[in-house]
Structure 1
Amino acid sequence: MRSENMSKKGSKIQPRKSGPMDKYVKPCGKPETSPGCASPLTQRPLSTPKQDEELHATHSFEWVGSDKNPTNLTCGKTGTIEDSLKKSAQFRVLAKKNTNRELVIVRDGRAISSHFPCSFIKNERLTVKYIKAADKHSQLPRNRASAIRQGQVPPDKLVVFHVVTKGGEKVARIMKNKELKIKFEEITVYGLKGEKVKEALKRDGRLLKKAFQTNCALIDKNTEVRTEMHNLVDDLDGKTVKIKMISKCTQPESQPESLEDADVLQSESQKSDSEIQVENQDPQQQSTTNQSVTDNISKGNSKQNGIRQTEKIPNSENLKSHLSFQVKQRVKGMKTGLSKRSNIQNLFRVEYGKSAETCREVKTMKKLMALSDSVCAVRINGKPSGSGFLLFDKFVLTNGHVIKNIYNESTKQLSESMTVHFSFESLDQWDSGAKVEEVTAWEYYCDNSGHMNDWALLRISSDQKLPRCLLKHFGFLPSGGGICIIGHPNDGVKKIDPCWIIPTDNRKQVVQNHCNGNLDGVLPDSKQYFKDQEYINFITNNFFESVSQSVNGLKQVLTYKSCFYFGSSGSPVFDEHCNVVAMHSAGYEYRNGRGERSSVIEFGYPLSLILEHIIIQMVENARFDVLKKYLACNYSQHQNMMSNLKKLVESRNLTSFQKAFNNLVHTNEERLKMFFGLLLQREEPVPMDTL
């Protein structure tokens, strides 16, 4: 964090008046003087070392380092959490070993800053980690930490909230250190009651400048209520927010929002030692002194410039935010025109607005949570490569493209080590996973109809207890409604995303919405569009026209808009009844004019089609051992699957099924003989309850 980003009142607890809408004018009389204050700038002498080490009630906490052995610490002096940790000999040894790395302190799974007030940590266990330092590692300036070290932040004045490390679609990277975004989903930020959100975030020091230079706001993760940067932090206590760009307008780094702020900016570079001393006073003395300073400044300015004393209008912050929002909406309507706005369909609001219809009943979410145990992360040589789920017995289903670079179809061998992990739900969790022993079946090609076959069936080791099989919850594609995807997006922990099916007739409109929102040009992640790695405006229409043609040609897929992009291939897609209906597979991605990745639309392949191809391969390759495992997993839609499979066998005249049946006639494989008999008989198949 850089000292120049700090305003004069950055460490004060007292509320600030801001914005021209906040005040009404009152005739100014003789400025009042605080009792006993002959000169406000010389009210209090400089702090002594004894005062700097102000005592507070003792509190204890534990910390755990790389050796996983907890160490207890008891603190009785005000300071930062790093100050307290430095009192531990074990921590000093650990810090010395990681001189060129960045310290990360983890509290409740979230990264807190090293200058977090230690008095707020009581009877908790912290985890101390070190990560790769950023190119320009920010250090905490002394003047930012002085208020904390001198006991000016009582716990009742502290506001603590959490910020998601990945920003919104138009401002995805917000962290200075990319390792923080990779290893942690959220960071914890503290603020002082009465200060602005922007000041608290700047003090934290871990965010990039663009979070402040662009018109960004904090969006509540649960309610999606917006909090703008100039608002006070008071109402953010305990909330989790995401930083999103609300317009493309660029805000100046430092803009006076009131007469008082203008005075601060003009005198910022000329602060005297006495003024700095005032900033370090306790809240009560500080309030008295600040009033005297303001009165004297107002008196001097009123003589020269005619500036009159002002007072704050009650509830002015909410009024200002409401009026500002209305003005922006009016301006936006004037620019776009009513005729253009009328073309925006309800689908767009459902797709991106997460309407109330995407909500799920508690019982549905509980069932999905139980089924999520069967979803796994797929890793190659320990590195995340995709997602998958336990289909039946010891067989995991994922996308074929996940393993295409390490699988030799001729020898049917993997060239690299591969594992699946069912319990990766927290960054602190780690297990060796289940080893992939065989690629039982695999397809990655486009057939004559234009349909892409992209799946892989993996047999895993049986040396651990496995979760339930999801084949028992199989379902066919729904015509519409809500769905839920469970997987490991962005190579991270297991997540769930409730979203909405995009019907075939509405795909074109979704593509057009993305085209309208990227007038500055895009750079598709496709070599045919690259030209010296530059963003070219005329590419926009060409790219989205190609996407429109391609997505409308997808006849046998489920399309939707999801936040599951990279690393989530192979995730199961559940319908509103918690049935697995598809496998999340791909999307049409691009980079916008700011270099941020996005996706036009995502899609998944129907599980019913994949099951048909798995069965056909098992028969053609004589893998009856696997086929018996499949038949042993009874599920409610088995009869319907048999009907569809029978039609497929008859239409393709698959002689391999007849040969397999002939070879089984003189064996004791009654289950297999009944299976083939039902497929090969001319009349409609009978119920498979006896299988």
Structure 2
Amino acid sequence: MADPSKEVEEDRSSKDVKQERMDDSSEKEAKAVPSKYELQQNTQRKSHIFHFLIKNDKCAVTCDTSMTVLEALMRSNIFKDIKKKNTKKDIVIQRPKGAVPRAAVKTDFPCCLIEKDEILKIQFINNDGDASTEQKTIVHDFYKPETLVTFYIRTTGGDKIKLLMKNKDLRLNVDDVCVYAFKEEDCITALKRDGRFIDDIFKKDCALREMDSETIYEMSNTVEYFDQKHFQIIVRSDNNQPDSLEEVFSDDSIEMEEASAADVKENVQPNQHSINTEQEETKQKKNTMKSNNASTNSPKIIPDSEEILAILRAQFKDLLETLKQRENLKNKSDTLKFFRAEYDKSVQSFSEVKKVKQLMRLSDSVCQIRVEGSPRGTGFLLFDRFILTNAHVIGEFDPFTRKLSKTFTAVFGYEDLDAKEAKYVPVKEHVAAYYHGKINMDRYLDFALLELKDVDEIADCPGLLSRYTHAPPPNRGGICIVGHPGEGVKKMDPCFIIGKEHLQEAAHKHISENVNFIHVMTQQSLAEKWETHDNQFMYNSCFFHGSSGSPVFDENCYLVGVHTGGYAYKGENCKTRSIMEYSYSMQPVLESIIAQAKKSGRADILKLLSEYKTLNPSLKDDDVDMEEAPQNQEDEHE
């Protein structure tokens, strides 16, 4: 699969304006080398100036509105010299203006929200090791005033949660902090990205109480209407956020079996202390006996499960409220029934034995595309002797003769590393059909149709075109991708489509949760790469490099698209991650193949395609009866 992160790295080449490397690590975090998209936007950015007060010295700094406060400050040698002397301390930046004067902003606070000639007070405080007030910034062009809001929170909470700041010295030095957020975000996401608040506020049942009106806002609310409001965090109840739906909607008539509940606690929360009662001791004895008699296939504790559980807990309440509004669920009973029904649907999507067998059968037609013996991508037998993959998988070739510059091989049945059962089928040296780019304002294509030299070895493999019916691209529901991710053996990945109306929400959520790693992309580059088309659908998959060209099946095992790419970046330990992935639907691909076959005189392709009754009226009888070229394209050039 194509790696957009590599494209971004290539953009930051000698063609771009070279920037002077900064000396200390904080400055490297604060400022990334601009991409060509940033440079193109420089003419649209506005020059900006503000002042800062440090050790009684008033200094001015000039920047542009796309920067963060720290990036602007690092332009000042005076600031840099003082910061070097305080490398082990945290920076506190206080604004004199705003609805709450002297509130402290983060170092990644957008300059576009700083008023002209505003004087920021800079000081350094001890870092107690719990957390730093500094944090890597999100992409610069995200910072546009019309998309942002700012609100204020007291550094001390209500009666049951006094200490809110990870750095206790921050609470001693300032009374309020200023938080910025994107309008469509919920409060929890904004506070988590801010990074200065303790984790307990996300685990407990907390809320925001407005200082002026005493109005209470749930933290699951979006921040769109929080702009310039002043809050204090309070605890509504002593109960922690619920772990599951059963805890939220449980009635006296709905009980979990003791053994099952004990297993959940044992495996998901291994460090949780038990309640010291006779009843609990009895449960523990039963669980101990059960554990001793368990088979070797009993569930194991998942590494890092506590961290995953904490993330799920924090997201649960907001997702629940969104669901209630979207599905118009009135009470607990309705919501529980809905979840049970949806759970049944998702489980049944690809777990029915019949569907699993069908997918296994269809997966026989999926192959690994190799170039000069090296894995390059994935393809699949579309019909007869023709396989389909992505155009970017085969790379460049002679546009006039359509002759491939390298030797390609389709490897079927590569399901084990020893590859004893794999079947190596050579590909003819001329491309049968190809398109990479826009076909109009609404559609984009990235496909290559290749012809196999010998199909005797794969005679039993079904052409996946038999599993296609003419339909628009799906916008919701489950899908299953079959391919060779990571240039490895064949794998499957069931996942769910992200509706087009939820794309921005899903993207911002992923970015806010992975802000430490997504620091080389800009909003402009994302906008260009995220240009969606009518024949495109999105999802979250674990298929990255090597999986381009994989077939995508819907919940009924019908072919709906070709897995093509994703908006990738380097995550933790330099592993490739992706904000989301996408496929292009089949119908425009088939229409282009038919059009090219007509133009090149490939009556053999048209005749084969005429056997499929689901292609659409684009293939007519007179097209099939056309006079075939005297020689096929392969023979013509040999």
Kindly indicate whether structure 1 or structure 2 has the higher relative contact order, using CA contacts under 8 Å at least 6 residues apart: 2
TM-score normalised per structure 2:
0.45
TM-score normalised per structure 1:
0.42
Bigger radius of gyration, 1 or 2? 1
